């Protein structure tokens, strides 16, 4: 089964050793999505894109033949108009469900969560554990928030580096394995 990963620079792997310049050498194989998927991986992410573009690029790949599952890390809602991101995410969720495509969503920042449509299926989301200190985000977090607040190594342009991706993959592994199991049924 092929895993399609969608997202922005965090899923592309900007500043990671095997993709140091945000795409000059192609997407990284060291992101948490790539680590989870292993060799059955297609990355549709690209630095700086909006949630609308994330959904569009993933959907284009899904139209190709072969069994697939989708892992999307949604970006900041400010890259779309304020009302676009929740609509795009719900429509992509409904697209996956209609076509029986297993999916798992997460995000870079939890500011997106409060904007989501109430019809959004949160069972298919992975949110990173909340912080415990008063200066941390005390609600479940997105990948970027979690990495920053846990003081992982960050590149010069602000992207979490390999250690954050490696640990994120470990945290998500159980939820990801549920996705894979669903797709094999």
Name the least confident of 69-73, 112-116, 177-181: 177-181
Instruction: Say yes or no to pLDDT of 56 above 90.
Output: yes
* Residue-range domains of the chain with CATH: 2-183 (3.40.50.1110)
At 35-52, the pLDDT tens digits run: 999 999 999 999 999 999
pLDDT of 20 > 80? The answer is no
Average pLDDT over residues 10-34: 86
Which helix (H) or strand (E) is 42 found in, with range? strand 41-43
Q: Which has the closest alpha carbon to 57: 44, 66, 46, 73?
A: 44
């Amino acid at each position: 089964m092929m895993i399609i990963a969608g997202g922005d620079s965090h899923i592309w792997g900007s500043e990671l050793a095997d993709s140091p310049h945000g795409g000059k050498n192609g997407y990284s194989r060291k992101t948490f999505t790539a680590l989870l998927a292993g060799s059955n991986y297609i990355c549709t992410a690209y630095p700086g894109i909006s949630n609308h573009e994330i959904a569009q690029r993933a959907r284009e790949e899904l139209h190709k033949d072969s069994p697939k599952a989708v892992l999307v890390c949604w970006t900041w809602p400010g890259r779309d108009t304020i009302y676009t991101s929740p609509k795009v995410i719900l429509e992509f969720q409904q697209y996956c469900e209609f076509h029986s495509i297993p999916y798992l969503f997460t995000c870079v920042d939890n500011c997106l969560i409060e904007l989501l449509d109430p019809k959004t299926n949160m069972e298919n989301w992975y949110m990173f554990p909340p912080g415990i200190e008063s200066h941390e985000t005390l609600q479940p977090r997105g990948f970027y928030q979690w990495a920053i607040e846990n003081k992982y190594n960050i590149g010069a342009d602000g992207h979490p580096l390999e250690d954050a991706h490696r640990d994120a993959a470990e945290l998500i592994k159980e939820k990801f394995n549920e996705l894979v199991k669903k797709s094999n049924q």
